[in-house]
Every structure is written in C-alpha cells, then in structure tokens.
Structure 1
Amino acid sequence: MSLLRDIQNSAIDANEPISTLLRKCKILAVRLGSEEFKSWVENELNGYFDRDEIPEYRIMSVGCKGHFSGGFGSGMHNAEIPSRCIPKDFREGLYTSYLAQPISSIESLIEDSDGGTVQEPWPSDVTAHFGMNMYQGMNCLQAWKVVPVNALVGILDMIRNKVLNFVLEIESEDPEAGDAPINSKPVAEEKVNQIFHTYITGNVQNVATGSNNVSQHAIKNENNELFNELLNALINSSGTKESKDQIVGSVEEMRDTQGTSAFKSHYNKFMSLLADHMQVYGPVVAPFLPTLASIVP
C-alpha cells in the first residue's frame, strides 16, 4: 500500500490515534520536501511553544467555575464565575483556552474525562488576587476553565479532515508522491505550498502560486472602514463610560487582529460583551453584525 493511501485510511479510521496519523504525515512531509507541512506536523505532535503560533482551531472561548468559602461554614461548589467580575485586561486570558499541548495530551484528556468537560486550572496567584471580588462575602479557593470534551473531539476530527484533504490533493497531483525518494519533491514546491495553505492553515491568500519572485501578504486592513464606522457609532452611543470602554476595546482588538488566528477569540469576546449590554448597544451594532460574522475565520 502506498504511503498516501495508508494516510488516507488512517485519517478515516476513528480508532487510529491522531499521533500515529501525524507520524505518517511527517514521513510524507520529508518526501515532499515541504518545510511548512513538516513544521505543522511537528507542532501538532510536540505542542506549540509560542502562543502566537497556536492555530485558530486550538483556541476557544470557555466558561469558568470555582469553589468558594464564606463565613459561618457557608460555601459554594462548582459555581459559575461571571466574566464581569474580572477586570477586562485579564478576561481574555482567563476565559480563553489556548490548547498548546501535544495532540496526544488532548487525546488523553478525552479518554480520561467523565462528565463532558475537562478542567484547566487558573494560576493560584490569579485566583488569590481576584478571589474576593466574585461573590459578596465569599472567597474563591480554587478556579478553573471549563473546556467541553466535544470541543476537544472536534479538534481531532478537524485535524483528520485537514490531513485527508491534503493527501487527496497531493495524490491528484502525483499518485506516487508518497513513495518518492526523500526530498525529491515529486510535486512542485509552489503547488505543495498552495495545497498546504488551502487545506491545513486556511490562509490561501498568503500563497504566491505563479512565481518564485512574488511575495504576497494577507490583506489585514481591508475591513478597517467597517471597524472605524462601528467604533464611531459606539463612541457616540449612550452607554456608560465603563461599558463603552469595554466594548470599544474589544472592537479595536478585532480590528488589529484581522487575518490572524486570534481574531475569532476577540470576536467571541465582543459578542459576549454585546450580550451583557444588548439593550444599550444592540440597536447600534445590529447593522454591522452580518459583515462582522462573514469575516470570522
């Protein structure tokens, strides 16, 4: 069986560990001579050491819970921690899960879970710092992010789909590409890069397909006019200074992260803030929502 067909069979077999599938992809990356594909496989196998490199499908907005203790033996267990209890500068880090660990660790989390969620603990110093500001008369003893297991399963399925689409496209270019000598580049480097960015990263706009002498960059500011109009509408709205500063800040974060993996988390943060102040800002934001939704990766 050819390597390409072996990878295809592994991708569609739900019982095949993702780590095994990716090791086969590592062999394919070397035979194709694709450094980008090889780097992606290495990161998935070994984890992402730079938060800025974590792909969008490994970043998700989550809820948070905690255990609380009060006076006279009172307390609460597994109580929700509303995001509004946390200063806005800290919310993104505490209410976003950046799944940077090796893919085998995510597989283990799924296997060991019981109850449909897994916990990602808050740093103890953060819990101590904000613990008195969540519920009146209560102190937070322990806090954690609540990560749905089905979201973790979705990450594994997404990787399977990405790999399957990639190898199918490579096979359409050269059915023997997976069995070619190492670094022989059976498929043109430009074509491999195009397929990689189309099916693995989704950043096809970054790829120059016609010439080695062309350098292309993602157009990150194409929607600046939209964001500027939205900002002006919010600034001139009747909301309180505190709420206005929060929602304006989230719009600025979206504007500044267009075209990056961080955009979706800022968009989710914006929608969460909007939900908290729908009566005030809903009518102001409504005309912009369809366009905003269309540019979410």
Structure 2
Amino acid sequence: MAKSQIIKDLANGSIDTQTALKRTKVLLQEFDDERLLEWVNYEIEGYPDDVEVPEYRRISGQSFCSYIKGTMSRFLKYSNVPLSLGNMPENERELFYYANMRESIGALKGTIHEYERKGTSIGRIIPAEYYPYIAKCNNDMGMVIQSAEIQLNMPQILNIFPKVENKLLDILRYLENQFGNLDELDIDVNNKSEQELKEIVNHIYVLIYNDQSVTIGNDNEFNNSNIASSIKTAN
C-alpha cells in the first residue's frame, strides 16, 4: 500500500509540525474520545497551568542572577553570575534548574526564531519573592538580588519538535495500517467492531502517553509548598 501523503509530507519536512497536528486532530476526532485529543490540543493551543507538561517539554538550564553586596554608600555589584543556592534542600533546587515550556508548537517556533534573530538565549524569570530565601540559603542577608533567571538549554528546546513529530508519525502510520490511506483525512470507524475500536484507541493512548507525560498537577513550577513556607520564614 502506498504511503499516505500526510505521512510522506511529515517525514520529509514538507509540512510544519503545527499543520501535521491539525490534520491528525481531524483524524482522531472520528473516535469521539476527548482524552485521545488532549495531547494534540495541548500541543496546538498550549498547556494550561494545571496540566503537567510532557517530559520533553521540561527543559533544564542554568540559573544566573545580578545582585549587590554592601552598604548604600559602598557596595559591590555582580552582574549575570551563576546563582548560588547555598544550603537549599535538594528537593527545592529542582525548581531553579528546570522550566516548563507551555507554549503551543506554533508560538514556540516563533519564540525560537525571535531569540535566534536577537542572538540571545531563552530564559525564564525567577520571581522576586524568592530572592530573600535564596539569600538566606547562602547565609548572606546582605545579598540583595536585583534579577534572576534560568537560561534554558536550547538543544533541548529544539528537540521538542522531533519528539512531537515522531509521535505523530507513529499515530498516523498506525491509523494507516488500520484504515488504509489517510489522504482524505477521513477514516471509516463504522467498519470496525466496538472491541476493535477500543483496542485501536488504547493502542493510540500508548503511542501518545507511553511516558505517562500528561497528568494533572503542577509541581514543576515556582509554587513549591516547601519553598513557599520557607519564604515566609525568610521574610
């Protein structure tokens, strides 16, 4: 059987990831299963704050800060230096080494192009409410942090696109095997029994969520309850 055009287009880069996601969504809608569409919708529209992102969208980075030390009349200023976390507990440090990329695939592509045009790296601002606690962890309350951010690993960000495309190719190839050519963006689910459809849907679940990447929760953002309580103590 000849390969469907959508598969060939995606495999040779003739269509962008956003277009491939939309076409795949049209096909998956035939199953009338909302959970089956969640991943596709999140990649098209972006991930809400109350949904944990897939592992490939958790990006590591290096934290940097600018701060001053001393008195109002005599002080030293340090600009864009690595952020020391001092004696901060290990279970809290992760929040300063990773960031979640929640943007839609289309928005993420635009963000990357903009930063590449400027010749700068993509970063995430560390909220100012954490600065006193960071100073406390360094046993240095005279450390006045003026700004801090996580500068993210660009190769990991760029790797989001092939990760998504590989999932799409797996899904599309499986649908083609089950229903034939996909060029009309239409599959006849009426030719399958209820049990067959259930097995097909379950298999697609595995292709999408094999790393259990999309779950409800938000424990990778700057809202860790342990840190929140520590901030109150620091203040």
TM-score by length of 1: 0.58
Number of matched pairs: 206
Of residues 198, 207, 211, the one that matches 2:206 is: 198
Say if 1:139 and 1:16 are closer, same or farther in 2 by CA, change over 3 A.
farther
Q: Structure with the greater relative contact order (CA < 8 A, sep ≥ 6): 1 or 2?
A: 2
Give the alignment of 1:40-119 within 5 angstroms.
40-71=39-70, 72-88=74-90, 90-114=92-116, 115=119, 117-119=121-123
| Matches of 1:80 and 1:127, distance apart in 2 | 14
Output one character per residue of 1:18-75: Cα deviation in whole Å (capped at 9) or x when no partner. Answer: 2222111111111344433322111111122254442222123332111122333522
Output one character per residue of 1:228-252: Cα deviation in whole Å (capped at 9) or x when no partner. Answer: xxxxxxxxxxxxxxxxxxxxxxxxx
Contact 1:68 1:139 in 2 (8 A): yes
Which residue is equivalent to 1:294?
none
Structure with higher strand content: 2
Q: Deviation of residue 194 (structure 1)? A: 3.4
Contact 1:28 1:178 in 2 (8 A): no
Say if 1:46 and 1:89 are closer, same or farther in 2 by CA, change over 3 A.
same
Output one character per residue of 1:143-197: Cα deviation in whole Å (capped at 9) or x when no partner. Answer: 1112112111101111011101111121112213564757845564223223323
Which residue is equivalent to 1:19?
18
Say if 1:260 and 1:18 are closer, same or farther in 2 by CA, change over 3 A.
closer
Contact 1:48 1:100 in 2 (8 A): yes
Give the alignment of 1:1-297 within 5 angstroms.
5-14=4-13, 16-71=15-70, 72-88=74-90, 90-114=92-116, 115=119, 117-131=121-135, 133-134=137-138, 136=140, 137-176=142-181, 179=184, 184=189, 188-202=196-210
Percent identity, please: 18
Contact 2:27 2:185 in 1 (8 A): no
Deviates more, 1:56-65 or 1:149-158: 56-65
Partner SS, residue 86 of structure 1: coil
Q: Deviation of residue 5 (structure 1)? A: 2.5
Letter in 2 for 1:113: Y
Q: Deviation of residue 121 (structure 1)? A: 0.6
| Matches of 1:9 and 1:176, distance apart in 2 | 12
Contact 1:64 1:143 in 2 (8 A): yes
| Matches of 2:155 and 2:129, distance apart in 1 | 30
Say if 1:133 and 1:196 are closer, same or farther in 2 by CA, change over 3 A.
same
Say if 1:104 and 1:189 are closer, same or farther in 2 by CA, change over 3 A.
same
Partner SS, residue 67 of structure 2: strand
Which residue is equivalent to 2:227?
none
Q: Deviation of residue 90 (structure 1)? A: 3.2
Could you tell me which runs of 5 or more consecutive residues in structure 1 were left unpaired when the two chains were aligned: 204-258, 267-297
Say if 1:32 and 1:178 are closer, same or farther in 2 by CA, change over 3 A.
farther
Contact 1:33 1:185 in 2 (8 A): no
TM-score by length of 2: 0.72
Output one character per residue of 1:71-92: Cα deviation in whole Å (capped at 9) or x when no partner. Answer: 3352222211134453445323
Contact 2:59 2:157 in 1 (8 A): no
Q: Deviation of residue 16 (structure 1)? A: 3.4
| Matches of 2:53 and 2:177, distance apart in 1 | 29
Say if 1:68 and 1:36 are closer, same or farther in 2 by CA, change over 3 A.
same
Deviates more, 1:124-133 or 1:106-115: 124-133
Say if 1:168 and 1:201 are closer, same or farther in 2 by CA, change over 3 A.
same
Letter in 2 for 1:164: L
| Matches of 1:179 and 1:14, distance apart in 2 | 20
Say if 1:135 and 1:129 are closer, same or farther in 2 by CA, change over 3 A.
closer
Letter in 1 for 2:126: W
Contact 1:55 1:261 in 2 (8 A): yes
